[in-house]
Each structure stands twice: as C-alpha cells, then as structure tokens.
C-alpha cells in the first residue's frame, strides 16, 4: 500500500481528526488508499508508526480557504492533499521515507463512519 510520512504536530492533528488536508510542495498521480505514518522526530506517542489509513481524494494548489483544514498558512508552492475517510489503525512501526513509499499492509474496508 502507498504510504507517506508526516511530521509532528501535523500527524497527531490528523490522528485526532482536526486536520483533513495535508500540504506538500509536490504532487502525485496516486488517488485512493494511503497509509499515514508519523515521523520519529520530534518524538510523539505515534512517532515512527503507521497510525491511520485515509483516502487521498484529490490534490490541488493550496488556496487561502484550505488553511483551516490544513492547520497551516498558505505558503509558496503548496499543494493541498485532501484526505477523506481517515480511519485510525492500531499503530505499528514503519521506517519512514521521503515521497510516497510502499508498505506491506492490507487495510480493512472503509466503514464510512470515519471523520472527514
């Protein structure tokens, strides 16, 4: 499954349902399930682990109106990655990498009761 590493405090904000847009300075053609992993540094309860599965619905140039859901101000070259159906999973260790990377993980089907 495609995975992405996310730094703190943003990983915890996604985990807690506060953040539904991840921002990056690059795009991908991938749409669909995405394993969310928290970076080891800075240290956190979910650091170094996969913590959720989300559906990457779309990517667009970041707009001012995305700031609230992204939990950050717009910045030059930013893209908004729209995460929907974020479902927490039992955290398990993952060695993070830059860009998208593959992790051997088979998610349960989306239940439709996750927060968006």
Which of left, alpha, beta for 110 (phi over 0: left; psi -120 to 50: alpha)?
beta
| Tens digit of each residue's pLDDT (9 = 90 or more) over 89-115 | 999 999 888 889 999 888 666 544 343
Q: Does domain 2-102 have CATH number 2.30.130.30?
A: yes
Q: What is the pLDDT of residue 110?
A: 52
Q: What is the pLDDT of residue 106?
A: 82
- Hey, where are the domains in the chain? 2-102
| Tens digit of each residue's pLDDT (9 = 90 or more) over 26-57 | 999 999 999 999 999 889 999 999 999 999 99
Q: What is the pLDDT of residue 114?
A: 42
Q: What is the pLDDT of residue 113?
A: 38
Q: What is the pLDDT of residue 80?
A: 98
Q: What is the pLDDT of residue 96?
A: 81
**Structural contact between residues 15 and 52, judged by C-beta atoms closer than 8 angstroms:** yes
């Amino acid at each position: 499954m495609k995975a992405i590493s996310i730094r703190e405090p943003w990983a915890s904000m996604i985990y807690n349902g506060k953040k539904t847009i991840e921002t990056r300075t690059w795009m991908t053609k991938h749409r669909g399930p995405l394993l969310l992993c928290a970076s080891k540094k800075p240290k956190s309860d979910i650091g170094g682990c996969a913590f959720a599965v989300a559906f990457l619905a779309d990517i667009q140039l970041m707009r001012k109106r995305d700031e609230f859901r992204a939990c950050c101000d717009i910045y030059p070259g930013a893209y908004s990655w729209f995460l929907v159906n974020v479902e927490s999973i039992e955290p398990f260790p993952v060695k993070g990498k830059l860009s998208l990377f593959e992790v051997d993980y088979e998610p349960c089907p989306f239940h439709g009761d996750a927060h968006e």
